[in-house]
Chain A
Amino acid sequence: MLPKELLRYRIESGQIRPSFLNTGSPRYNRVASDLIAAFDKQVGNTQGELDEAMEKYAAGRTDYRIVRGLAHVITSFAEFEASTADSAKLRSAVFERAAEGWPVVRRKTSPAETDRHSVLEVVAAELDLSVSQLEDDLYADLPERRRLIRVTAPREPAALIARYNMELARGLLYWAERLTVDIEDSPQDVFRYIKLCRLMHTIMRRERGYSIELDGPLSLLRGTRRYGLKMAVFLPALALCRKWRMEAVIVKAGERLIFSLDDQSGLVSHFCRFPLFDSKLERDFADDFQKAFERHPHGAGEWSLSRADAVIPVEHNQVMIPDFTLRDRGGHEIYLEIVGFWTPEYLSRKIAKVTAARLDNLILAVSKRLALSEAVAKELDVLWFAGKLSASAVIERADLLVKDD
């Protein structure tokens, strides 16, 4: 995330727009590659020397903020190593000794004074160091004295610029007091990241996909930028989607501004996608469904299967995203939730969640792998299966549910 002094944006009729760099810009590809090379050259040098080299590179340039911003992104990938000298101990020894002979001066004018060099000589001798070594190590623990040992930033100038753009957008989101995102993709990964970022959400279903308002407990009561950092952290998760847009309200100098981005903004996510299927069980079921569809185009063909694309809000700011959704031509939707490994507690929590969601169009398929008393098994309205979950069993149950309508 870029710090505020490096943010570049335009404000126009209530909108705030980040000034993204074009990843194809020859000028900034050049700057990016210069900076990558400059960092490489500084490996082994101190952070102070690195900063100085950067300042020199940016000197006299009106676009110094871009240069510094790119350098900031690279620095976030840089590893530094602190000096091994115990500088605090050296300082304590030197200052104590100096205080004994206070005033310490550079040129003695009376016997009551102590010459600076003699203080250093005495302490250096005691610690078995040379005077120059002692002087050098006295403040070796300052951040600018750390040595650069490795840089793991993107090597491609265009990739660095793309990351710069992401960090610029994140820097603006830091000031956000609310954020609404619209997605048409499977919401599963997005909600996983929402949960990871510990944001609260309000979900609205749209004609295609969902609109999700993200904030925190306090947002309901007052405009607060308290959750801006979490929103900024979350942004790359949104950029994982193929079809998305976001609208944030940014508060800057007491003014509220709209900040919007979408899948055409050119943001490139560096977050990981979760695997499409959580388990082999799910993958096997999807395969089986596919085969059933191929074998009996008019049997399973009534139903199409999609992976985790429905979000059902349940109590206490939780959501349920059923593993699969079955849709028929008549517009019916049947959700399928598969439970493979489970403990009785897990299963009862799951059933409580399903009950709270008040869904009569959900099939809960539970593996018989673990022993469960027959009595409990009968009480629960679930689809039991042994080994693999077969597509035909699910389709049969789905047909039943539709007929009940």
Chain B
Amino acid sequence: MATLSFDQGTLLLDGLDQAVRQDVPMTPPGFIRDERVGAWRSEAYRYRDAVLWLRRRKIPFADRARHYDPQGLRLQPRTGIQLYDYQEQAVAAWRRMDQRGIVVLPTGAGKTVVALEAIRATSRPTLIVAPTLDLMNQWHKQLTSAFDIEVGLIGQGVCDLREVTVITYHSAYRRMGEIGGRFGLLVLDEVHHLIAPEWTEIGRLAIAPFRLGLTATYDPRQSEVLNELVGPLAYWKPVRELSGTRLAPYEVIRLSVDLSPEERREYEREEAIYQEYWLEYWRGRPDAQLSEKKPEGRLEILLREQTRDAGARRAVEAWYQMRRIIAGAEAKLDLLEELFRRHASDRTVVFTATNETAYRISQLFLIPAITHRTNASERKTILRRFESGQYKAVVTSKVLNEGVDMPEAAVAIILGGSGSAREHTQRLGRILRQRANKQAVLYEITARGTMETAISRRRRQTEAYAGRARRVSQF
């Protein structure tokens, strides 16, 4: 009899040669002869097709690849899962696609609830893959409160494998070779991450016949890989359809400050070194097009040149100094203090460009900081206390950038950050979460007459922002 087994993220099909007549195709699709072990091998995600292929041909086989009992999971929702219409439609559409496919909903529209209902309906051991530690913890919390079971957790040093387990993309990439046979349903949060070449292996190395991808940003150009590994687009609801109904309205207030005379002097000294380099650089390249001279491309050139040109090296160092001066500008801290006063009773999140600034603000205003170094339990405590209102403000560097739920946050203050549009959408998403009668405010503080002004301009060119700012003020 043929056997199908799971080997480090691949399937091995053995003993097929005796089982199959010579005149029919030899193997299920995607299987290749592996002479190293003398059997047929494929990637684990072809499990479903392989089983169907064998059954259709009435080839008897022992299934040793599936390391879970398909009837073994008894999920008891603690309370009924309440779905909005569109969430119900999303789950129904996904189930019609043989429980494989992608659901696109904007940030804040309750993707988690969709997944909970899908897990309940499928009733298979489930692995939920989340891009960040915060999201991982958040899924864990929601699953624990939704179902009457112990929920497993793998990531950041924790390894607790259970029938329903939450894992980070990072750990999933490393561990899927061991655990890829143990789950019938794979839920991929922020599924657009899966297209990164290494991370596609998370989808490839799991046998899960059922798959659900969730995202707010679905790019049809990436659909080929996602279609193969997760399934077709099952449901899509664009951002604008939801605004005003479920998402809190918000306003954007831009504030700018001046550097202190001392900071300004230091900034200008570094800026001169930086500009001098570019003057020289373009002087040596009289044929360069204007489009090449965009500031966005500059850092890339510098990083390339700095290993052979001492001037470029100095320019890079100057650039870092400029960033440091802007990030720590005294006037920004004064203004921050003023905003804390104004919003003393609002839950406030401060975003900084660097960990260094996050820790500085934490120590100055005695508020908790969350960075990638904050360990899981402290992070959990901070978020819980923030939610309950025990903490009024938290400061964070880039770590909270992806869809972390802070439903109580009413004020966001951006003290600096990169100009990337995606980062900004995510930051906005966080304070857009539904909350009754909330008027969310987003402050953006930049240093006048510095490179930050340009970053801020780029930042505004995102869809979520366009035409939505109600008020723009200057101090």
Interface pair B341/A113, CB less than 8 Å apart = yes
Interface pair B9/A109, CB less than 8 Å apart = no
Interface pair B391/A217, CB less than 8 Å apart = no
Tell which of A60-68, A294-302, A327-335 binds the partner: A60-68
Residues on the A chain within 8 Å of B204, using CB: 218, 222
Residues on the A chain within 8 Å of B390, using CB: 96, 99
Residues on the B chain within 8 Å of A254, using CB: 197
Across the interface, name the chain B residue whose C-beta is closest to A222.
B43
Tell which of A100-108, A338-346, A372-380, A386-394 binds the partner: A100-108
Q: Are A60 and B317 CB-contacts (below 8 A) given A104-B366, A201-B36, A317-B37? A: yes
Tell which of A138-146, A147-155, A303-311 binds the partner: A138-146
Interface pair A95/B43, CB less than 8 Å apart = no
Asked if B7 lies at the interface with its beta carbon under 8 angstroms from chain A, I say yes
A95 to B392, CA, bound (A): 10
A226 to B392, CA, bound (A): 44
Asked if A400 lies at the interface with its beta carbon under 8 angstroms from chain B, I say no
Interface pair B43/A99, CB less than 8 Å apart = no
Residues on the A chain within 8 Å of B306, using CB: 62, 64
Interface pair B314/A60, CB less than 8 Å apart = yes
Interface pair B368/A220, CB less than 8 Å apart = no
Interface pair B34/A62, CB less than 8 Å apart = no
Partner of A95, one of B198, B201, B317, B366: B366
A254 to B196, CA, bound (A): 11
Asked if A225 lies at the interface with its beta carbon under 8 angstroms from chain B, I say yes
Interface pair A116/B310, CB less than 8 Å apart = no
Q: Are A99 and B313 CB-contacts (below 8 A) given A105-B337, A109-B341, A220-B34? A: no
Interface pair B340/A105, CB less than 8 Å apart = yes
| Most chain A beta carbons < 10 A, residue from B41, B42, B341 | B341
Residues on the A chain within 8 Å of B309, using CB: 62
Interface pair B37/A99, CB less than 8 Å apart = no
Tell which of B208-216, B246-254, B357-365 binds the partner: B357-365
Asked if B19 lies at the interface with its beta carbon under 8 angstroms from chain A, I say no
Q: Are A116 and B364 CB-contacts (below 8 A) given A142-B373, A221-B42, A225-B198? A: yes
Interface pair B337/A88, CB less than 8 Å apart = no
A297 to B314, CA, bound (A): 74
Q: Which chain B residues in 89-146 approach chain A with CB under 8 Å?
A: none
Interface pair A135/B363, CB less than 8 Å apart = yes
Interface pair A63/B365, CB less than 8 Å apart = no
A60 to B314, CA, bound (A): 6
Residues on the B chain within 8 Å of A116, using CB: 364-366
Q: How far is the CB of B371 from chain A (nearest CB, A)?
A: 9
Residues on the B chain within 8 Å of A61, using CB: 310, 313
A225 to B381, CA, bound (A): 37
Asked if B38 lies at the interface with its beta carbon under 8 angstroms from chain A, I say yes
Interface pair B381/A92, CB less than 8 Å apart = yes
Across the interface, name the chain B residue whose C-beta is closest to A198.
B8
| Most chain B beta carbons < 10 A, residue from A106, A221, A222, A224 | A221
Asked if A216 lies at the interface with its beta carbon under 8 angstroms from chain B, I say yes
Q: How far is the CB of A274 from chain B (nearest CB, A)?
A: 24
A103 to B340, CA, bound (A): 6
Across the interface, name the chain A residue whose C-beta is closest to B39.
A316
A138 to B307, CA, bound (A): 39
Asked if A78 lies at the interface with its beta carbon under 8 angstroms from chain B, I say no
Interface pair A218/B9, CB less than 8 Å apart = yes
A222 to B42, CA, bound (A): 10
Across the interface, name the chain B residue whose C-beta is closest to A110.
B341
Q: Are A202 and B36 CB-contacts (below 8 A) given A116-B366, A217-B9, A218-B43? A: yes
A45 to B37, CA, bound (A): 54
Interface pair A106/B205, CB less than 8 Å apart = no
Interface pair A95/B205, CB less than 8 Å apart = no
Interface pair A88/B391, CB less than 8 Å apart = no
Q: Are A143 and B32 CB-contacts (below 8 A) given A60-B317, A217-B7? A: no
Q: How far is the CB of A258 from chain B (nearest CB, A)?
A: 20
> Scoring B residues 160 to 175 as 1 if CB is less than 8 Å from chain A, else 0, what string do you get?
0000000000000000
Asked if B344 lies at the interface with its beta carbon under 8 angstroms from chain A, I say yes
Residues on the B chain within 8 Å of A113, using CB: 341, 344
Could you show 26 A-B contacts with beta carbons less than 8 Å apart?
Answer: A60-B310, A60-B314, A62-B306, A63-B307, A92-B381, A95-B391, A96-B385, A98-B365, A99-B367, A102-B340, A103-B341, A103-B392, A113-B341, A135-B363, A139-B362, A142-B359, A201-B36, A220-B34, A220-B36, A221-B10, A221-B30, A226-B177, A315-B37, A316-B37, A316-B38, A317-B36
Q: A61-B313, A142-B373, A220-B41 are in contact. List 16 more A-B contacts (CB 8 A).
A: A60-B310, A60-B317, A62-B306, A62-B308, A95-B366, A99-B390, A104-B366, A109-B341, A120-B366, A216-B8, A217-B10, A218-B204, A221-B42, A222-B43, A226-B177, A226-B201
**In the A-B complex, the 6 residue pairs with the closest CB atoms:** A98-B366, A103-B340, A102-B392, A217-B10, A103-B344, A217-B8
